[in-house]
Amino acid sequence: MVKNASVYSLALHRKALRKFASLVCVLLATVLLAEAPAVTPASGSARSFGTLAVPCHNGIHGGASDLGITSTTIRLGTGDDAGASSFDDSVTKTMKHFVAWCNQLGGINGRKVLLDFRNGSRGGALGASTLEAIKAACEVDFMLVGSSYLFDGSAESTRLGCNLVSVPATTSLWQSRNSWETYSAVPNPIDVMNITGVAQATETFGQQAVKSACAVTENSVPAFSQRSLGVKGLATSKKGWAFSNCTADLGYLAYSVKPKILDRAALSIKHSGAKVLTWSGNPEGNFEALLLALHRHHVQVKWFVGESVLSASFAQWNFRHGGVANSVYAASSVLPFTADSSPAVAVFNQIARSAGQTAMGEHAAAAFLLWATAANECGANLTRQCVVSALGRSSAYSAGGLIAPTNPASNLPPNCGVLLHLHGKQWTQVIPKVLGSFQCSPTNRVANTSFLTWLKSTTGATLTDRHLGSSAGDLIAK
């Protein structure tokens, strides 16, 4: 099993290569190839992405050098859970637009990028469908880039078994957040936390308010893990947050909740006296329904939410419903898509257009640019080994200024962020005051030492080097 970039050694499986020729026709019929969206001349002619040199251009390319590589093409896998309840397709749409833009500029050293999209929610069985998606990618794809699977951890042993390196838009379960062969543009490891948003929310809400906080959850594995990590991480951030049990569990995932359950949750929050509520899931479905229930019962609270809520579509929903979400504040490690004064955001908006007006869309763009920059360094000799070696040198990455500076090579999150506030149909930047800038501090990156006990002792699996040999059993709860 691969443990880091410096010792990465990949032996191509001859059996897999022999199978490739016989399987490719079937797979082409069953795998959805991304349709190339039209790219405007303005975006297509851009030679820089903020401060990042565009890695897409013509060049000298050789013969097939690895799985998924031909003399003229590079085959990437990607996917999301669009169609499963509240999950949208902004990640995949953004990937399609960026691939089309890259190909218009000449691809990666002249090789055009082909994008195999595989949905992880087919039939509603998210874990099983994600596993099938990864199995299919193992057969034909060079790497997995810009993916966003809620149950990504269910497929980690399969992904690692076939050396399918991942450069994800986001990671969800603990098996994936600290995994080998994963290089995230915006890392979110279990052992280190970016508390910039916590500090900003504390300043905005006041010390008294954050002493009466409550975590609203959905009863699913990812939401449970996020609740455990988020609540305890906040509580140990020494910013004065105190959490009470307001018993506002909304059931499984974000499927439609019965009105009685919503009313019970709203009344529970009201009686708890909570002043600040936290939420880490998507906005559609349960979150919107609970906002309406709280409004019906005249409950006045502040919301502190994660990046997945940041979208233009949720802002439009708020406007249509009379501003019931005007109390929502979101912490983000990416600049708001409204910050056109930022050169990186301006180019992002040109390429992604309305499809990418979400923070998760920006994550996908950052992931693609991270991969493309590493792949570009390899020239004609494009191999997984070469790309991983380049990714292992990515210790200061910002996607040209689109995201807060991160360390993908060491799986370290940023120590910067912005706090945004929703009012009507507009997200406004609260902290820092200058739109298009981040607030940073070395003290905003803290260790979640309370989670070290979640690791079992395995050879080579330590938190010291930030990468865990991952499988379903490598991380277990207490």
Query: Which tens digits make up the pLDDT trace of 292-327?
Result: 999 999 999 999 999 989 999 999 999 999 999 999
Q: Please count the helices (runs of H) and the strands (runs of E) in the chain.
A: 15, 17
Q: Where are the domains of the chain?
A: 5-186+338-412, 192-332+415-447
Nearest Cα neighbor of 98 from 56, 140, 61, 150 is 56
Helix (H) or strand (E) holding 452: none
Same fold, 5-186+338-412 and 192-332+415-447: yes
147: Cβ contacts below 8 Å, ≥ 6 apart: 77, 78, 79, 80, 91, 166, 168, 169
* Whole-number percent of the chain with pLDDT over 70: 75
- What span, in angstroms and rounded, lies between the C-alpha atoms of 185 and 169? 7
User: Is 82 exposed, middle or buried (CB count within 10 Å of its CB: 0-12, 13-18, 19+)?
Assistant: middle
pLDDT at res. 354? 75
The pLDDT tens digits for 409-447 are 888 999 999 999 999 999 999 999 999 999 999 999 888
Asked whether residue 37 carries a pLDDT value surpassing 50, the answer given is yes
SS3 80: strand
Q: Read off the pTM.
A: 0.85
The superfamily CATH assigns to domain 5-186+338-412 is: Response regulator (3.40.50.2300)
Looking at domain 192-332+415-447, its CATH class is alpha beta
| Range in 83-92, 226-235, 294-303 with the lowest mean pLDDT | 226-235
Q: Please indicate whether residue 158 or residue 460 has the higher confidence score (pLDDT).
A: 158
Summarize pLDDT for 346-391 with one digit per residue, the tens.
Answer: 999 999 987 768 999 999 999 999 999 999 999 998 999 899 889 9
SS3 286: helix
- Confidence bin at 449 (pLDDT 50/70/90): low
Q: Which residues is 209 bridged to in the sheet?
A: none
